[in-house]
Amino acid sequence: MQQFVIEGGFPLKGEVTPGGNKNAITKMLPACLLTDEPVILRNVPKISDVLVAIEIMQAIGAEVTWLDEKSVQVHAKNIHTGVVPRDLAQKTRASFVFSGALLGRMKYVQIPAPGGDVIGERRLDTHVIGFRKLGCDVQFDKGVFTMKASKLVGADILLPEASVTATENLVMVAVVSEGTTILRNVASEPHVQDLCNMLVNMGAKIDGIGSNRLTIEGVDRLHGGEARVGADFMEVGSYIGAAVVTGGTIRIKEADPQHLDMTALVFHRLGVTWDVEGNDIIVPPNQQLTIQMDIGGRIPIIKAQPWPGFPPDLMSIALVVATQSAGSVMFHDWMYESRFFFTDKLVRMGARITLCDPHRVLVQGPVAFKGVPNITSPDIRAGMALVLAALAAKGETRISNIGQIDRGYERAEQKLVNMGAQIRRVNLEFETMEYEMVKSDPA
């Protein structure tokens, strides 16, 4: 087991380049299975969720080659099975998007229910409803989905919810279905746009990219191509937060700030601003860090919303920023009932947070964080939020289960060290062995 050991109190200074969008690349990789020609993907982050996706692709017959540190070529010429290995599927939530890719390529898939973050129940009903409308038979037994279709036919589909992964799954099936598919109430996040633009580059016909209505004309086959993964705006938001809570100033290069308009509005309510220079973001020092009250002095509410609303995956980061801002603010994540269950760890560090119910917390700031001997990262975003708190804290903090953070952040500790953070990764087994050796030394 590995831990982050963090000595807080050092303002960040310097520059950082975010990795490619985790939520884009974990869908763009499966999409490569829709063609038997080579596809090259650029700005690919080497995070554990990506490595698992590559393992799945190789297990079903695709050839995957790293061309350089950030470029991957996928050649799915010979896919020999539509069965996704259970052990790999349960390592990541994104594994379920292989169902759309394999249905589009083989018209058959057998896939276990996915794993991933435990932040609440995330149903798959929207996927199944859409698959069935496109002509698929879907069965679920003993934790495994079996889906097959003799013929994929376009349909007019209204999604019960604007689900990101359901939108992506249905797009991958629809682009190779006969006739026209209209998808309404779809998700339109930047990662959905990245996937759609990639498919268009491969010969798909998709109209309405970036909106909540997609019109797709099915094609007989897709060809190879090349696509670039956009900057991970969750990572960008995390480094903005890290600079703010440590009182630092940083430049975030190649940040794709056009995707951060709502994030800027929400952070501004917490007293945080930044500047944009070309494709870079500059976080200045001496932030105001005062929460803007609603009209009449009412406590403001920050609510997670579908795009272009405030991303739910940035709620944990914004919450830590709020602990350093003067005033009170309510956070409401109606999507995931376990999002805020990590806040007890922040309370141990000195935060004033009231858990109102599984979906809402009241944060009062500012507080001075103090280091704690051991806290555990429950999921990707909560894990990075705890890193931010530790960077701001007085003293040492140890964070366990950092494999969760590795799923979404590429070389997080190295990037932070390059900006002046005192953070290191330690292997607990090695530390214990070293301690026992010293203890047994008679000298």
117 is catalytic: yes
Distance CA 203, CA 283 (A): 40
Cβ(216)–Cβ(251) below 8 Å: no
- The pLDDT, as a whole number, for residue 439 is 42
pLDDT at 116 over 50: no
Q: Which domains does the chain have, with CATH numbers?
A: 2-18+231-432 (3.65.10.10), 22-228 (3.65.10.10)
pLDDT at 443 over 80: no
pTM for the whole structure: 0.90
Arithmetic mean of pLDDT over the chain: 93
Distance CA 12, CA 31 (A): 38
pLDDT at 118 over 60: no
CA 243 centroid distance within chain: 20
pLDDT at 245 over 80: yes
| Percent of the chain residues past pLDDT 70, beyond the cut | 95
Q: Going by C-beta distance under 8 Å and a sequence separation of 6 or more, which residues neighbour residue 424?
A: 4, 5, 413, 417
- The pLDDT, as a whole number, for residue 436 is 41
The active-site residue, picked from 49, 117, 194, 232, is 117
pLDDT tens digit string along 145-184?
A: 999 999 999 999 999 999 999 999 999 999 999 999 999 9
pLDDT at 200 over 50: yes
Distance CA 294, CA 292 (A): 7
Q: Tell me the DSSP string of 42-101.
A: ES----HHHHHHHHHHHHTT-EEEEEETTEEEEE-S-----BPPHHHHTT-GGGGGHHHH
pLDDT tier, 435 (very low <50, low <70, confident <90, very high otherwise): very low
Helix axis angle, 233-245 to 380-392, nearest 10°: 20
Q: What integer is the mean pLDDT of 196-206?
A: 98
pLDDT tens digit string along 344-392?
A: 999 999 999 999 998 999 999 999 999 999 999 988 999 999 999 999 9
pLDDT tens digit string along 44-68?
A: 999 999 999 999 999 999 999 999 9
The residue count for the chain = 443
How many Cβ atoms sit within 10 Å of the Cβ of residue 183? 24
